[in-house]
Amino acid sequence: MEQSSVDEAAAAETVRRRRVGVLLVVALLAYVIDLGSKLLVVARLEGHQPIGVLGDVVTLQVIRNAGAAFGMGQAMTIVFTMIAAAVIVVIWRIARRLYSLPWAIALGLLLGGAFGNLTDRIFRSPGVFRGHVVDFISVQHFAVFNLADSAIVCGGILVVLLSFRGSNPDGSTHQTTKAGPAE
């Protein structure tokens, strides 16, 4: 192998490792902020009246959610646990060929949020893999959610935007081909 090829391969591996590092740092920050916020609101707000942040539009109140977003699927907690675990595995597999910084951030947000809610599903009552997620940010006429949910939504939006821009996790771009005239 030529020296320039070896140097290029080494440089590419360095970039990949840095991107995986960014993914892990973003995931860890999202996870720690979510976990800390849940510990704080459970200790300080559970069993108390909601606290208005923006009048009645945004309030803080502890809700234990057995289901998915918007309280759907209350009887499917184990399914949501398995989905979160699958998301973590998929992100780990994608990370092996991750060269894009925006994708690293998006996947880090998804990973941190998935770990945040998975932690609740594993360690909170009523039991292992059936635990209820702690939600506490209530938006009038919308939903009650937590910071892990926010990280997942922000990561998901970023993934959609990156996909629409033609960006791939490996740093390449995809192009749509224009169909020629019908024959």
Q: What positions carry a catalytic annotation?
A: 135, 149
With 0-12 / 13-18 / 19 or more C-beta atoms within 10 angstroms meaning exposed / middle / buried, residue 102 is middle
- Within 13 Å of residue 99, how many CA atoms lie on the same side as its CB? 13
Give yes or no for a cis peptide into 126 (omega within 30° of 0): yes
- Output DSSP code: residue 62: E
Distances (CA, A) of 72 to 49, 65, 75, 77, 143: 24, 9, 9, 10, 11
Place of tokens 């506490």: 136
- The answer to whether 122 and 129 have CB atoms below 8 angstroms apart is yes
Place of tokens 């030529």: 2
Write the CB contacts of 81 (distance below 8 Å, at least 6 apart in sequence): 118, 121, 122, 129, 130
